[in-house]
């Protein structure tokens, strides 16, 4: 009987200590390059139950855009184009074919060794505030309208 109780405690402890890996996925709605990455990450999360994929749409959300840009700066990414993925010590941007292999290797490493959330890197780097695509369009339209008003008056 004591063996069963000890075994139960050990198995509960093992489950409680299972590594939780957080992966952040940034994309644009309707992005043809983002769709394959989204499918890959869904498959990856299915294969690795320890993996939690958090998805952020950046085209219509200035908050998500700024988060992506701050993380890109903290990870040292210079050219940022969606899809963008952050996990463990890895930050990758764009549809490069090798990115999926790099992501899976980093997920495996994080499951084995443990990794902090990518959000813990915020505050590193020299991020300069920028506008997301929607804000840029609104600003350009506003400036064009203001210029039109000034030239008409």
85-130 tens-digit pLDDT? 999 999 999 988 899 999 999 999 999 999 999 999 987 655 555 5
Give the per-residue pLDDT at 83: 97
State the Cα–Cα distance between residues 152 and 28, nearest whole angstrom: 37
Count of other CB atoms within 10 angstroms of residue 100: 18
Token pair 């590594």: residue: 19
Report pLDDT digits (tens) over 24-59.
999 999 999 999 999 999 999 999 999 999 999 999
Give the per-residue pLDDT at 134: 66
Give the per-residue pLDDT at 16: 42
Select from 13, 18, 21, 29 the least CA-distant residue to 65: 29
Examine the pLDDT at 64 and tell me if it is beyond 70. Answer: yes
DSSP string, 83-97: SEEEETTEEEES--T
Domains and their CATH numbers in the chain:
19-152 (3.40.30.10)
* Angle between helix 62-75 and helix 133-152 axes, rounded to 10 deg: 120
């Amino acid at each position: 009987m004591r063996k069963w109780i000890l075994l139960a405690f050990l198995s509960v402890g093992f489950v409680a200590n299972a590594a939780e890996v957080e992966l952040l996925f940034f994309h644009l709605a309707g992005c043809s390059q983002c769709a394959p990455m989204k499918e890959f990450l869904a498959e990856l999360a299915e294969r690795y139950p320890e993996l939690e994929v958090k998805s952020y749409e950046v085209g219509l959300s200035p908050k998500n855009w700024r988060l992506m840009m701050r993380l890109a700066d903290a990870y040292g990414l210079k050219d940022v184009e969606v899809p963008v993925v952050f996990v463990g010590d890895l930050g990758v941007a764009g549809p490069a074919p090798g990115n999926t292999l790099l992501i899976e290797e980093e997920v495996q490493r994080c499951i084995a060794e443990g990794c902090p959330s990518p959000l813990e890197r915020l505050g590193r780097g020299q991020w300069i505030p920028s506008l997301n695509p929607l804000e840029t369009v609104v600003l350009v339209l506003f400036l064009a309208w203001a210029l039109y008003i000034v030239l008409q008056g």
